[in-house]
Amino acid sequence: MKAGRLIGLALQSIRRHAGRSALTMLGVIIGVGSVIVMVAIGQGAQSEIQARIDNLGTNLIVVTPGSSQQGGVSGGAGSFNRLTTRDADLLRSDGQHLAEVSPVIWTRTMIVGSSGNWRANMLGVAPSYEQIRAWPVSSGRWFTEEERQGNRKVCLLGATVAKAIFADADPVGSSVRLREVPFEIVGVLSAKGQTAEGTDQDDVILAPWSTVQTRLAGRQFIAQIVASAVSEQHLGPAMTEVGVLMRESHGLSPNEPDDFEVKDQRALADTAKGATEVMTTLLAAIASVSLVVGGIGIMNIMLVSVTERTREIGIRRALGARRSDVLAQFLVESIVLSGLGGLLGAAFGVLVTVLVGRATGWATVVTPATLLLALGFSGAVGVFFGWYPARRAASLDVIDALRG
């Protein structure tokens, strides 16, 4: 029997028992919709976490001070600081896999403006920090290398600091005092939000590192060095290169341990990706239970249908229909029932996903792969749970069926 004819017979049977068919499909609709919603929430969370990691910088490499040893007792990470701006200069000049390099000089300071004051983190950086951290301005501009070399008293405000000092006014061009030193505001940084640890990245003031070192910090050693690899593929070689150059800069012999640490964001990204993938899989598995329940409902209805249509099966067999024809008819009917439920469930799932995203503000992502997976699963449910009723219909004895 041709496929078109089988599908027509299946649709005819579904229309004949429209109410029962609708209730049967309801389980599949809810199941498919649940799978789509749960996977969309999981993938949305993954994209949100990835965006937060990307906010830390493009192919970011961070060099921090190492640990000290006194009497066999370790002082912990960062307790032995030998990082200087000369290390950053060496990485910038000799690093073949590095795109940008910037020293970072850290201090806490009070910023005083015409509308109030605020205590914030003060970072002395190079102009290349903009590319390393992928941090554009929302207004104004970044300071230039000429201003850095000239120890100019210019600064950029993070969104939190700008809001605290100037409210909704644009502070570009205004003057503020940092430890009684007047600075001109040349730009306001775009908002980055919080890190995964909950630290406000926008509660910061950036200025040329040379100015911060000479006028505010007054220290030779620096907090860290940040750099960006040429590309993601160069990240591994870049980290190896940074380690070699730093050992060279510090004059360490082969048997001496590193007095610095080199880190990147790959471990954090891999951990976050693994966690969200597990969460997404778990949510999809939980939602799939309702799809299996819907499949059991289809099997029960198909068994009832076989019982109700026993005489019809006997007549078809008496007129020459083969067992395979009867098997195909009931199996296609089950697949069509499940497939229609899958299509309606996909539409239902997309609608619920949009409503959940708008109501909660969560990031949700519905991909074509998710829709195809849900629809494919619904079709598989139709085959799996429709096989037994179809097989039972095909195995009926012709004489017994006619008597039924």
Residue-wise DSSP of 93-160: HH-SSEEEEEEEEEEEEEEEETTEEEEEEEEEE-TTHHHHTT--EEEE-PPPHHHHHTT--EEEE-HH
Instruction: Quick: pLDDT tens for 4-25.
Output: 666 776 677 777 777 777 888 8
One DSSP character per residue, 207-265 reads: EEHHHHIIIII--SS-SEEEEEESSGGGHHHHHHHHHHHHHHHHT--TTSPPSEEEEES
Specify the DSSP element, H or E, that contains 177: strand 175-178
pLDDT at res. 142: 97
Please tell me the number of Cα atoms within 13 Å of 89 on its side-chain side.
Answer: 7
**What are the residue ranges in the chain where pLDDT is below 50?**
70-79
pLDDT at res. 335: 83
pLDDT at res. 74: 47
pLDDT at res. 73: 40
d(CA 147, CA 265): 31
pLDDT at res. 177: 94
**Contact by Cβ (8 Å): 332, 14:** no
pLDDT at res. 145: 95
